[in-house]
Structure 1
């Protein structure tokens, strides 16, 4: 991931060389805002577009660690059982469980998980993550993608960083509860994958979230 971003940065420097503006107050040259936005947008687009590759890499790492893969009809049954146990464990916690094909998505609202503009998991949320970890340890043939999301307020750069740090915090906590790190990948999407309208207070609240996508190893 770091190599990808470095490559993008270098490419951006080449493409946007000369795209500077003069500060009217200091007389200094600085990168134009449009150029900065384009560079940040390119990096964000690369993160989003590389999801499939990241998931495949995690699966290969799991197999390399000796975790056996599922096959055929066993996949659906395995995820059915895991879904049922997660729904039972998370009932009344504010965390929703959604089925997407053979994947499971746990939506953790930001106000439940983190204080405003902070990336430390709230202590009140530990019990919920403990419940998730219990199920994840039992069903160890699933990769765990931890994705951070923000609303569109603030700069893209800030939101990309915040979403990544929040995803990392959740991942560290789960690893601390005994989930094998080889199963976990983290990604920060910032404001780029909204699930609601960012022009409303309610919509922005829904967009501030951490999602765990549980992907069967096949």
Structure 2
């Protein structure tokens, strides 16, 4: 058992020392993802050693460390860099950038995206969309899921249609500017997912929004 522990520890040390370049960006890996990669390597090495025969335990630990380290650090570092670029590009635009693990969410309130009751993109919102296009082209390793939301004013049918059309408008603009359509999906959910009370104008304004969620392909 002691030798197994030394094998696993040695495998992890080799993995952590050797993994200096990120597979998604080609840059030297640092920050939070380095920790994630080290944890992944540790877990992978332990599993690799435990599931291998006695003769192949060292080899199993090394393979497990490689797989675990790449999974734990690679995409996490990619998201670190993408989040940094999005925050830089979207400062002062009114768009919120929310990080949840390795998922990024962009919340675009209705007052800066569309006129009331319309699915035509507001002219003042095009510069913000162009900033998104620039980042989405630079970071092209994740899917782009666009969802339109409305408040509860008006009929369900109207709100569902409006939310779908608004999400489609954003998706069409992104693809028209060269973002791969294979990465993009769009949907409308009407008033079914409020983030504030529909009993006040301030709450309804928050519920009228478009959200873009970025996840690993």
Give the TM-score taking structure 2 as reference length: 0.67
Query: How far did 1:87 drift?
Result: 0.2
Residue in structure 1 matched with residue 154 of structure 2 by the alignment: 154
Matches within 5 A, 1:64-213: 71-213=71-213
Deviations 1:138-159 (A, max 9, x none): 1101100000000011111110
Aligned residues: 148
Q: What SS is found at the alignment partner of 2:144?
A: strand
1:72 aligned counterpart, secondary structure: helix
Which residue of the partner structure matches residue 11 of structure 1? Answer: none
TM-score of the superposition, structure 1-length normalised? Answer: 0.66
User: As a proportion of its length, which structure holds more helix?
Assistant: 2
Matched residues in 2 for 1:195 and 1:176: separation? Answer: 30
Deviations 1:104-135 (A, max 9, x none): 11111111000010001111111100001100
Higher Rg of the two aligned structures: 2
Q: Find the aligned partners of 1:72 and 1:157 in 2 and give their Cα distance.
A: 44
Q: For residue 120 of structure 1, give the secondary structure of its aligned residue in structure 2.
A: coil
Deviation at 1:75, TM superposition (A): 1.1
Following the alignment from structure 2 to structure 1, what is the Cα–Cα distance between the partners of residues 210 and 71? 29
Asked if 2 retains the 8 angstrom alpha-carbon contact of 1:149 and 1:210, the reply is yes
1:117 & 1:206 partners in 2: Cα distance?
15
Native 8 Å contact 1:79 1:216 kept in 2: no
Give the conservation status (yes or no) of the 8 Å contact 1:147–1:164.
Answer: yes
Structure 1 segments of 4+ aligned residues over 3 angstroms from their partners: none
Tell me the distance in 1 between the aligned counterparts of 2:133 and 2:98. 17
What CA distance in whole angstroms lies between the structure 1 residues aligned with 2:211 and 2:100? Answer: 13
CA distance in 1, matches of 2:150, 2:86: 25
